[in-house]
Amino acid sequence: FSLEMSKEQLTYRLLSMEVGIESGRLRTGRLQQEEWPLLGQGINSLGQLPLFLDDKPNAGVLEMRSLCRRLMAETGKELGLIVIDYLQLMEGSTPDNRVQELSRITRGLKSMARELNVPVMALSQLSRGVESRTNKRPMLSDLRESGSIEQDADLVLMIYRDEYYNPETPDRGITEVIVTKHRNGPVGTVKLLFEPQFTRFRNLAA
């Protein structure tokens, strides 16, 4: 569920990740002769994936649950993963109290995950408090309207790039994936290589 980006924008990003060509060049068609076959292969590969995109803005939990049930009925298969980008753009029933509204949304997503027996990954914004600290690494308390997210989530991953704040850092290109909560396992930090031109992460050892 892409509540911020259109299907078209998301497809260009997915293609960029798949074929290793900047999404801006894919949109404009400014490709080298040898890149066109790569693009064709990437389109074919993505087309064969059991990937379903919905870009309706302001979707709510009930609508998402209904769409997922319908998809399972049509394909005759269980879903592998539900991704929501992002949580704060979801529609709730109490717009006058955003904290309570978000609490109902996170409980609803947890209920949907259990009912459909599928993991749900919901992206979230951070509060601006992180910008005022010397150490910019995000913490659980930085989740925007965070109480219910912190409580309902089984696993919370946060992303930090030192390069964003310190352009001269020796860790250029390195992203820290910080496990700040893990209900069934350890917390800690994993470092990955970030390729911004393709919007993708890679193992450092690769």
- Residue 69: what pLDDT? 96
> For residue 188, is it left (φ>0), alpha (ψ between -120 and 50) or beta?
left
- Residue 141: what pLDDT? 84
- Residue 62: what pLDDT? 93
- Residue 45: what pLDDT? 93
pLDDT tens digit at each of 206 positions of the chain: 999 999 999 999 999 999 999 988 998 888 999 999 999 999 999 999 999 999 998 889 999 999 999 999 999 999 999 999 988 888 876 666 777 888 889 999 999 999 999 999 999 988 887 888 888 899 888 886 667 888 889 999 999 999 999 999 999 999 999 999 999 999 999 999 999 999 999 998 75
- Residue 145: what pLDDT? 65
Q: Which residue has the tokens 């995000």?
A: 138
| CA count, 13 A, side-chain hemisphere, 145 | 15
pLDDT digits (tens, 9 = 90+) for 90-135: 887 666 677 788 888 999 999 999 999 999 999 998 888 788 888 8
What residues are annotated to the active site?
4
CA 51 vs CA 12, 20, 80: distances in Å: 14, 19, 10
Q: 79: burial class by Cβ within 10 Å (0-12, 13-18, 19+)?
A: middle
Instruction: Name the β-bridge partners of 158.
Output: 178
